Chains A and B, each alone.
Chain A
Amino acid sequence: MKLINYINIRFMLLLLVIFTLAGIGMYIKLGFDVDENIDEILTARMDKIIDNLARHPQTSFVGFSADQSIQISEVKPCESSRIFSDTVVLNLHDKRYDQCRKITALKPLNGHFYKIQITYSRFETEDMVEILFTFMIGLFVMIVALLYYLNYRLSKSVWQPFFKTINTLRSFKIGQREKVVLNNGNIQEFNQLNSVLTEMMDKIQSDFNNLKEFTENAAHEIQTPLAIIKSKLETILQEENISPDVQQQVQIAYKTVARLSKLNEGLLLLSKIENRQFVEQTDVDLCQLIRTRLEFIEDLFSLKSINLKVQLAEPVIFNMNPVLADVLISNLLNNALKHNLQNGTLSIVSSHGELIFSNSGLPLTVEPEKLFQRFSKNSASNESTGLGLAIVSEICHLYAISLQYFYADGQHSIKLGF
């Protein structure tokens, strides 16, 4: 619901209550005034009739007034009194009941006792209600129409800067180089909003940059010592006259450093993905990517005599970061190669926005649920860092790609749904 409509509906509901209350109040007050007025008329008439009756005594009162509005009768002796009351009189002409005001007087006059009743139609009051009702409705409709007109004008002009801000914000992306500029107008509240938003975006950008810098610096700080160790060990290995024993020791250290550096790279990659530092996105043809990567390492498969079945006729194109796409595919292929058997199989099939990697391999020694967790690995392959599938899972999570693992007939399958 638009804010302006939200406000208007409440405003109109309030107006409705006020109008109703005002109408009722006015009705009561006016009715009271009219009654007073009628009572005055009735009193005056009564005085005139009594005066007449005192001067010209009468005994028969039949047909005293044509419309039966005055009725006089003789009654038993009683006290003199005057009472006003409301009554209903059948109108013979219209065949309906009229609301009437009535004065009843008991009066001793020249030794006779008279009861005099005068009725007076209150049709003015009924008319008044009608007039009031129409007036109130008319006013209400006019106000509603006016509000809608104002609404239209307001959302066209006053809300313009607000919608402009929203549109600009929509194009905001974390990690982009260009600063987002929000143009100020002449409405203070919107300018306030803009300045708070600008401040917030600057803070987000600077936090993001700090984090990015930190991860990159951390990489630097760790990789550089590793580079030194690695190069020193390599230099030792170049020596011709070292004993085989020493050489073996150095060889192990050298291998371990290489693994440590891979591990560091993997963890950094994971944190970069988690921090959403891979901003750029394009449409990536994943099937094409698989073909390219396979071409690069087909010798690795043939050296292990792995039977490759590739069915990538149906293209899978997905909008994602090209580097991450490459990491995703490489890790899946690497996984399928690493945990495969000699003379094993690998099939890669694409269909309806799905990619299925199935490879032969020994049954898992870890629970399938833990397969995509960090450092969960089959004890059989000590060489692996245990991060490959965690990275795959993190990338899938980032792009909401569904990731499923199942094992059947000696085949490990990983299914990606785009």
Chain B
Amino acid sequence: MKILIVEDEKNLRETITDFLKLEGYLCEFAETVADGSEKLALYDYDCMLVDIGLPDGTGFELIRELKKLHPETGIIIISARNSLDDKIEGLDLGADDYLAKPFHLTELNSRIKSVLRRVKFSGKKEIVIGKLCIQPDARQAFGAGQPIVLTKKEFDLLLFFVSNPQRVLTKEAIAEHLWGDFADSADSFDFVYSQLKNLRKKLLEKTGTDYFKNVYGSGYTFVANEP
């Protein structure tokens, strides 16, 4: 999978690149609109991460260009201008998602996977991890062939973990993923714990495997390979 990152902030770009490389993505980057449009003309990408505020223009220009050249490429806007106008304009132009800075890298990863699933496999792809099988489009999970009954939030949580295997998902990232703006509630970490406890129990029941590992103080990790 090839991803183009258009971001003028060097540090952020490098952190994102490093993170995504570990996921096995091939990452290329551009700092400006001119740079980005040159890369888009020369190469094919599966997904583009684009910042709106760039030194020589806006990311919207690149979205327009990409939609003309390769309409099937996934586009995720990463912008610090958390303004509704930008969001609407970007999505209208054909972007798949909009992520406001600062974001959790694991959240970005999860969104990229979701976009790639949509554009590459039309959402039909199954994710199979040992006895666990997940159908993201149908929003269903199976353990050893048996359907696992999950609430909406539990399914979201599972998908979030599955998108970020072997990663530490911080409680903050999980809370924000599940509840958005309501995540800053003082007890949201207890809520994360409760939700995870339920999910863990249900998965353990059907698959006989405990996929989750506590990371002391910070969060949880989804262990794909059975220890």
User: Is A303 an interface residue, CB under 8 A from the partner?
Assistant: yes
Q: Within B168-183, which residues are at the interface with A (CB < 8 Å)?
A: 168, 170, 172-173, 179-182
* Chain A interface, DSSP helix/strand/loop, else mixed: helix
Q: Report yes or no: B182 in contact with A254, Cβ–Cβ below 8 A.
A: no
17 pairs from A and B in contact (CB 8 Å cutoff): A216-B83, A221-B80, A222-B80, A223-B80, A223-B100, A228-B12, A230-B103, A230-B104, A237-B219, A238-B168, A247-B215, A265-B82, A296-B180, A299-B153, A299-B195, A300-B188, A334-B184
Distance (Å) between the CB of A320 and the closest chain B CB? 14
Q: Report yes or no: A381 in contact with B186, Cβ–Cβ below 8 A.
A: yes
Interface window among A38-46, A57-65, A255-263: A255-263
User: Is A219 an interface residue, CB under 8 A from the partner?
Assistant: yes
Q: Which residues of B contact A (CB under 8 A)?
A: 9, 11-12, 15-16, 18-19, 53, 79-84, 100-106, 151, 153, 167-168, 170, 172-173, 179-182, 184-188, 190-191, 194-195, 215-219
Given the interface pairs A223-B82, A254-B170, the reply to whether A235 lies near B15 with Cβ below 8 Å is yes
CA distance A79 to B174 in the complex (A): 135
Given the interface pairs A220-B80, A238-B167, the reply to whether A227 lies near B181 with Cβ below 8 Å is no
Given the interface pairs A228-B15, A330-B182, the reply to whether A258 lies near B101 with Cβ below 8 Å is no
Q: Which of B83, B151, B153, B184 contacts A383 (CB 8 A)?
A: B184
CA distance A323 to B105 in the complex (A): 26
User: On chain A, which size bracket covers the interface?
Assistant: 35 or more
Given the interface pairs A224-B80, A333-B182, A334-B182, the reply to whether A304 lies near B187 with Cβ below 8 Å is yes
Distance (Å) between the CB of A8 and the closest chain B CB? 51
User: Is A291 an interface residue, CB under 8 A from the partner?
Assistant: no
Knowing that A235-B19, A262-B184 touch, tell me 9 more A-B residue pairs with CB under 8 angstroms.
A216-B83, A223-B82, A224-B80, A231-B102, A238-B168, A247-B218, A300-B179, A334-B182, A338-B185
Distance (Å) between the CB of B89 and the closest chain A CB? 12
Distance (Å) between the CB of B86 and the closest chain A CB? 8
Chain B residue contacts of A299, Cβ below 8 A: 151, 153, 191, 195
Q: Report yes or no: B184 in contact with A235, Cβ–Cβ below 8 A.
A: no
CA distance A333 to B84 in the complex (A): 21
